[in-house]
Structure 1
Amino acid sequence: MARIGIVGGNGALGSAIGAALLAAGVPEGPLWIASRSGTAGPLAGRAVRVTEDAQELAEACDVILLSVPPAEAGRIGVAAPDRLVISVMAGVTHRRLAALTGAARVVRAMSSPAAARGLAYSVWFGGGTLTGADRALVGGLFAACGESDELAEERQIDLFTAMTGPVPGFVAYFADCMQGYATERGVPAPIAERAVRQLFLAAGQSLAGDPEGPAAQVQAMVDYAGSTAAGLTVLRAGPLAAALAEGLDAAAERARALGQASDVST
């Protein structure tokens, strides 16, 4: 069983992934955490070993997961030429990660704090230097966090940083708009909020369990020709899809900019 260490393991994303790994029994021994404060943060009291020295973690572990703010990438202080290095730092490229750590086996990934509840969607890109065992290990690590896929193109990581990294992010904005619709028409705010929370809970579970996907659910409602069909017809004819794409493009571009800023800062 590989020894796993998380640099930045007491942060929101690092600790969420750590919690998922511990819940899944991975690794069998203590999970290593490197943090500037020398504390475990949300993972305090769990089977973790904490150090302030990221290089100490790198020398003790087989797999090093980097989860620090991208602006801090150049100051990680990890030399790990013979280790498997995985990064969930937004915008920091595969090539940059290899240069920072000296590692030949590098994975660039994106997950989310929903990992703590086993509900994250994680994507990753490993390039051509990973072994079959490396790929199996990375797949298992992210499977502990929720659903996961390997991508063939690194540039797509930024798209998922925009779409699935910010939980609840864009989905929360849609929920807020629907809640506002109700309250502006006189529905008491607590009732509107409770209704919208339950709606999105039910919708998420329905989408997750339907093999046909979102488009099929939308079309089924349109074909039914009821009240929802009337609303969906207006939305599909309007600017909503284009506005959403514009917002996601802005978020993806910001992810790329964060990675570029890490280059400048060093």
Structure 2
Amino acid sequence: MSAAMNIMIVGGGHMGSAIAFGLKRSSADMLITVVEPDATRRNDIKNAGISTLEELPSPLIADVIFLAIPPQAFLGFLENNARIGRYAGIVISVMAGIRIRELTAHLKNSQIYRTIPNLPCGVNEGMTVLITAAETTTASNIVVNQLLAKLGNLLELKDEALLDSATALVGGGPAYIAYFAAALTEYAISAGFDKSSATSIILQLLHGTTAILEQRKEPAINLCEKVMTAGGTTERAIDWFNQHGVRAAITEGLKISCARSIELGQR
């Protein structure tokens, strides 16, 4: 794949800007343009050294277009940008809930890819789940796989129904981990640690735990059990979590998130 590819990202919100930042970090000479109507967002993206436009250009020239707008805005976007229906290049959707068949029908394009990425793509440590349309070419597949791999890990699925669960797990995953990290930080500060020390502790806990999980390739619960000793302090905390259904609540929350993804696709 040429390092000088022309990439257009429609939508400069959290996910669209993360994709732009990650691609810029991976390939400094890649031509990246973010289309974003909000002036504040455009300014933030410009300050990162990335070109921006207020609206979709005409003619529409790009090797790859990312659609990173809210799924609720998709139909309105199509109404206001009919020229997207004449674009024959690669389109990568990061919109939750909108199925491949709907994308191909509305965009009148066979080179369609549906993805669920997450915010760590902005620092090239993301997780992206990918589904391809039935008639994509081998050449397009190579380009898309190489491009998305620059953002972190890439997993291609065959069953599109799994993308609703991926929306909950992959797309929302950083939020859940950050939510738990915030609770740990709140505890540390309430116990007397200053904010800087609390933050340092929590970041190292996340880093160190991830390193062990990556090295040992064991189920996460195994590490949990190894930290606990019978009658000890960690066991007391985990027992309390179990008694109050913390794990079950997390699982139920992801199911609700998945259901919302399905709902967005049925709007």
What's the TM-score once normalised by structure 1's chain length?
0.81
Query: What is the deviation of 1:40?
Result: 3.9
Q: Distance in 2 between matches of 1:200 and 1:235?
A: 21
Going from structure 1 to structure 2, the CA distance change for 1:219 and 1:169 (only over 3 Å counts) comes to: same
Give the aligned partner of residue 158 of structure 1: 164
- Percent sequence identity over matched residues? 26
Answer whether contact 2:113 2:133 (CA < 8 A) is retained: yes
2:8 alignment partner, one of 2, 5, 10:
5
Going from structure 1 to structure 2, the CA distance change for 1:64 and 1:120 (only over 3 Å counts) comes to: same
1:48-68 deviation line (CA, Å, top 9, x unaligned):
4433442637x3012111001
1:182-233 deviation line (CA, Å, top 9, x unaligned):
566x4446355543333223223333444335244345446x7684773587
Query: What is the deviation of 1:136?
Result: 2.0
Matched, 1:168 2:136: no
Give the aligned partner of residue 212 of structure 1: 218
What's the TM-score once normalised by structure 2's chain length?
0.81
Answer whether contact 2:16 2:68 (CA < 8 A) is retained: yes
Answer whether contact 1:6 1:64 (CA < 8 A) is retained: yes
Q: Distance in 2 between matches of 1:235 and 1:151?
A: 37
Q: Distance in 1 between matches of 2:173 and 2:46?
A: 23
Query: What is the deviation of 1:243?
Result: 1.8
Answer whether contact 2:46 2:52 (CA < 8 A) is retained: no
Answer whether contact 1:11 1:41 (CA < 8 A) is retained: no
Going from structure 1 to structure 2, the CA distance change for 1:214 and 1:167 (only over 3 Å counts) comes to: closer
SS, match of residue 79 in structure 1? helix
Q: Distance in 1 between matches of 2:142 and 2:260?
A: 31
Task: Provide the aligned length of Structure 1 versus Structure 2.
Answer: 256
Query: What is the deviation of 1:80?
Result: 4.1
Give the aligned partner of residue 53 of structure 2: 51
Answer whether contact 2:45 2:52 (CA < 8 A) is retained: no
Q: Which runs of 5 or more structure 1 residues have no equivalent in the other structure?
A: 262-266
Q: Which runs of 5 or more structure 2 residues have no equivalent in the other structure?
A: none
- CA-based RMSD of the aligned residues comes to 3.0
